[in-house]
Amino acid sequence: MTIFSKHKNKANVLPVMLVLTSYFLLLTSFNKELTADELVKKVKAKMDKVNDYVATGKMKTDVVFIKAPVANIKSYYKKPNRFAIKRDGGVSLLPKGGVSVNVSSLLLTDEYTAIDAGKTTLGTTAVRIIKLLPLSEKSDVVLTTMYIDEANLLIRKASTTTKENGTYDMEMQFGKYADWGLPDKVVFSFNTKDYKLPKGITLEYDDGSKKPELPKNKKGKVEITYSSYVINKGVTDAMLK
């Protein structure tokens, strides 16, 4: 965006130079623009600075049939793909493949084809849309669409379509740990299935509370807000169990 605005400004100030300058500037900017593959690799390289981390945060579960309080959690990560979420004194339900909550796992392997799919803005951030197609036939993931903030080399959003479990959306907000490519907040959206247990088994107590109406799209959301990361201080295997 900045490149284009510069170009416009110059055009306004020096109309004579318009065609020539704009040509060169455009050429320069296209030259600077990375290919999809290069961009993904750059993002990956940035994230590779993190060997391991322990993150502390709070998790909110917003699924129509799950009633759970905000949970204090700790996330553990170790290169290349070890990831675990734990909470003290409690039980939580995490959307299948908790690893997906971890950004770097999106870029685990090299076995994909990256395709440039244009640009857009997320909020006020300009992002490039990159589609990743796994090469392996066995992969559950059919397609991952990434919205990459090229300026900061951050993945702002990722949308993953799987064979079995529908589409997952992951939105990330960055703050203090943006330099490490680690988000302050991850919002994970996913499709949920119907939940039902035979009533006879549970012998329900009906306290008159309204039963939740099942929404049509049955989207669930899990939101994790990290308050701190301890990066590259070592994570043992025991922590990841």
Partner 1 sequence: MWSLLKIELFKVFKRPRTYIAFIAVWAIVSLIQLAIYVDGPKYMDFVLRDVKESFDVIGDPLNGYFVCFVILQTLLIHVPLLVALVSADMVAGEANMGTLRLLISKPVSRTKLLLSKFFASAIYAIILLIWIAILGLFLSMVVFGTDGLINAKSYEIIILNGNDVFWRYLCAFGFAALALITVSSLGFFFSIFAENSLGPIVATMSVIIVFTILTTLDIPLFQSVKDFFFTTHMIGWKGFFEMKTDAEGMSIPGTIRNLPAVLRSAGILLLHILIFTGSAIFIFNRKDVLS
Angle (CA) 233-171-161 rounded to 5° is 105
For residue 190, state whether it binds partner 1 (rule: CB under 8 A): yes
With contacts defined by CB under 8 A, name the span among 49-57, 117-125, 187-195, 229-237 that binds partner 1: 187-195
Q: Which is nearer to partner 1, 43 or 59 (CB)?
A: 59
Q: Of these, 102, 104, 160, 165, which contacts partner 1 (CB under 8 A)?
A: 165
Residues 35 and 80: their CA atoms lie apart, in Å, by 24
For residue 237, state whether it binds partner 1 (rule: CB under 8 A): no
For residue 240, state whether it binds partner 1 (rule: CB under 8 A): no
> What count of other Cβ atoms lies within 10 Å of the Cβ of residue 95?
19
Q: Closest separation between CB of residue 97 and partner 1, Å? A: 7
CB 161 within 8 A of CB 167: yes
Q: Closest separation between CB of residue 212 and partner 1, Å? A: 7
Residues 81 and 90: their CA atoms lie apart, in Å, by 25
- What's at 117, amino acid-wise? A
For residue 219, state whether it binds partner 1 (rule: CB under 8 A): no
Q: Closest separation between CB of residue 148 and partner 1, Å? A: 27
Q: Closest separation between CB of residue 7 and partner 1, Å? A: 45
Q: Closest separation between CB of residue 15 and partner 1, Å? A: 55
Residues 232 and 50: their CA atoms lie apart, in Å, by 6
For residue 202, state whether it binds partner 1 (rule: CB under 8 A): yes
> What count of other Cβ atoms lies within 10 Å of the Cβ of residue 115?
15
Q: Which is nearer to partner 1, 77 or 112 (CB)?
A: 77
Binding residues for partner 1 restricted to 87-116, rule: CB under 8 A: 87, 89-98
DSSP 164: S
Q: Which is nearer to partner 1, 102 or 192 (CB)?
A: 192
Q: Closest separation between CB of residue 133 and partner 1, Å? A: 24
- Angle formed by the axes of helices 2-13 and 18-32, to 10°? 170
CB 72 within 8 A of CB 163: no
Sheet holding 219-231, edge to edge: 82-87, 71-78, 52-62, 219-231, 183-191, 167-174, 154-162, 141-149, 125-134, 112-122
Q: Give the interface with partner 1 as residue ranges (CB under 8 A).
A: 60-62, 64-71, 85-87, 89-98, 165, 190-209, 211-212, 220
